[in-house]
Structure 1
């Protein structure tokens, strides 16, 4: 794990101390207050056997963790009753859960109540102290409840509403508010220096928009606007279908040869949610989003770039992309190592069990709001459209 640059404040220091205390807590704060940075700092410092899990693959990768479903061996539709039954077993992660001391759940706002109940039951059965609360481990919840809520599909909604007061984790039958004292980070670092933007974002977040703020936002609305092809506009949509359709439509508009890159998969990647497409199709001129942090610091995960030239070698595609700085970088395939936690010499180590190799970008004229959750700030894309939000 790379060393994490931090700006130490009193509240950051206090939150870090509470994490090290071994007690449960709910860490919250607005976007950009350093919640993910705090997690990374804790993991770099702690001697405790600790893991991070998140409800989505992209959120898990951002904190070098695992999805909740992969960690616990849950499948889509796993129920509390199934987790309580003799049929349930967490599989390859059982030994790690048995030795685990701290589990951090990132992006907790997207954790459904039933999923929280399932993970609590799994910890109670397979944690270091079976039968004890959370299996005897420290459980840390991290997230902003003003951000994206959990997804409950229409066919599930009627049943869900009869079992839970809300889809959020705090409505889970196994959740007790008194067990999770709230620690809130308040200093916004991500937009530091732009007080007007910070004020607007906070007003939207807590529903306290003034008429002046509403006017400032409404002035940015351009009804019927179609972005020029030569400008970097990012459309946020509500569904993968809408985002995929827009990306396909924009790709078809480009008068250039179509390139196809097939991912190379080795070993066991069961439960791994790759950021890149298994079959990536793109053209010169395509708007793409980088999916890695470049070791040479030319781009970060979330940078918007433009494909300007593509060549093929024996090793695969070499793609020239134009970055926001105006510079050009050559991009080749990236190897994502699929790992499994193993307990060794008193610490948790991550053993490589497979790999996923693909060009580290995806088409990005449009992405879903949920996929944008938890991603780094996109300084490279200053033009934003919201599609299909009504």
Structure 2
């Protein structure tokens, strides 16, 4: 690994002073010949938008005066990209949407922007438009709301549901082992919306966060739920690799994998996602619930997951007071 010179880290807003300090320590250990240099003498390149969600259980790097904050201030070259590629188009509606997002990003929410968003709520959308969003990805502020919506959608399929329980190393059970990447239990159903929770084949699009739909569940002869399936066929929208099924080129068989002390399918239900999990995703359509209270940049990150205003459904509505709460985020002045 001594040939490594550059380390690239995306979604830098998620990195806090604690994590960047751990990165520094680990790189000094990995490159002992340069352990007196920051990051073991490697060059760190950070990508992302500090206006998106901050670290979980930490503070933004730029707000710290600790060793982690010192490391952040050692980054002396900053390149700012000013052209927006995510929400393109010169139509008046698209220009207004970009301006709205810019105002949110700069913590300058306006009543006009809020009114524009409320034009995408149930009170103004036709019943036909509302029905289009029933199957859209729903974004929530809490894990509890995500779980509730996913289970509700699973039951609405009115199809057989297979329980799949992870295999645990001897001496450990699902109740006393937390392995976030692999679920302890999965509920599987044909037609179910799912998200990949591991990087399986990055070059083809089979990455952590890839969205797909379950097409088939296959078991070894004689085995039935809650045994692990032999494999599950998932249709991934953005898969670009070689064909497994020439008639369905986006279909890929997924087998159980091992991670830590658990073996299971790297899948999670994905009719609904937390806003944190959605950061970095581009959604064709989204129904959003930003919750009652704002954590730093929650509103901006949620609304910017779509490319245009017509791809957004606000449910439930929220007041301008809630919308403007972004101004009072703890580190907005930084």
Q: What range is the shorter-chain TM-score in?
A: 0.5 to 0.7
Equivalent residue number for residue 230 of structure 2: 316
Equivalent residue number for residue 19 of structure 2: 115
Matched ranges for 1:9-24 at <5 A: none
Task: Tell me, yes or no, if the aligned pair for 1:114 and 1:172 is still in contact at 8 Å.
Answer: no
- Relative distance call for 1:262 and 1:337 in structure 2 (3 A) is closer
- Relative distance call for 1:277 and 1:304 in structure 2 (3 A) is same
Structure 2 length normalisation: TM-score? 0.59
Distance in 2 (CA, whole Å) between partners of 1:109 and 1:187 is 19
Query: Which stretch of structure 1 is more off in the superposition, 249-258 or 119-128?
Result: 119-128
Distance in 2 (CA, whole Å) between partners of 1:316 and 1:126 is 38
Q: Which of these residues, 266, 269, 272, is aligned with residue 366 of structure 1?
A: 272
List per-residue Cα deviations over 1:122-142 (Å, max 9, x = no partner).
Answer: 444553412223322212222
Residue 322 of structure 1 and its aligned partner are, at CA, apart by 9.7
Equivalent residue number for residue 384 of structure 1: 287
The runs of 5 or more residues in structure 2 that have no matched partner are 170-178, 222-228, 239-246, 294-334
Q: Which of these residues, 26, 34, 49, is aligned with residue 129 of structure 1?
A: 34
Structure 1 length normalisation: TM-score? 0.51
Distance in 2 (CA, whole Å) between partners of 1:239 and 1:216 is 25
The runs of 5 or more residues in structure 1 that have no matched partner are 1-95, 154-166, 267-272, 339-352
List per-residue Cα deviations over 1:256-289 (Å, max 9, x = no partner).
Answer: 21123456899xxxxxx77553542122343334
Q: Which of these residues, 138, 161, 184, is aligned with residue 80 of structure 2?
A: 184
Backbone CA RMSD of aligned residues? 4.4
- Relative distance call for 1:141 and 1:277 in structure 2 (3 A) is same
Task: Tell me, yes or no, if the aligned pair for 1:246 and 1:365 is still in contact at 8 Å.
Answer: yes
Higher relative contact order structure (alpha carbons within 8 Å, sequence separation ≥ 6): 2
Q: Which of these residues, 190, 194, 208, is aligned with residue 288 of structure 1?
A: 194
List per-residue Cα deviations over 1:329-351 (Å, max 9, x = no partner).
Answer: 6442157798xxxxxxxxxxxxx
Equivalent residue number for residue 51 of structure 1: none
Distance in 2 (CA, whole Å) between partners of 1:234 and 1:122 is 38
- SS, match of residue 362 in structure 1: strand
Residue 102 of structure 1 and its aligned partner are, at CA, apart by 2.3
List per-residue Cα deviations over 1:227-276 (Å, max 9, x = no partner).
Answer: 7699312222223333223322332343221123456899xxxxxx7755
Residue 147 of structure 1 and its aligned partner are, at CA, apart by 0.2
- Relative distance call for 1:309 and 1:106 in structure 2 (3 A) is closer
Equivalent residue number for residue 254 of structure 2: 333
Distance in 2 (CA, whole Å) between partners of 1:297 and 1:103 is 22
Matched ranges for 1:155-194 at <5 A: 167-170=59-62, 171-174=64-67, 175=70, 177=73, 179-193=75-89
Residue 145 of structure 1 and its aligned partner are, at CA, apart by 0.7
Task: Tell me, yes or no, if the aligned pair for 1:234 and 1:366 is still in contact at 8 Å.
Answer: yes
- Relative distance call for 1:106 and 1:241 in structure 2 (3 A) is same
- Relative distance call for 1:313 and 1:192 in structure 2 (3 A) is farther
Matched ranges for 1:210-221 at <5 A: 210-221=110-121
Equivalent residue number for residue 57 of structure 2: 152
Residue 299 of structure 1 and its aligned partner are, at CA, apart by 9.2
Residue 184 of structure 1 and its aligned partner are, at CA, apart by 1.2
Deviation above 4 Å: which 4+ runs of structure 1?
225-230, 261-266, 273-276, 290-315, 317-324, 327-331, 334-338, 353-357
- Relative distance call for 1:193 and 1:294 in structure 2 (3 A) is farther
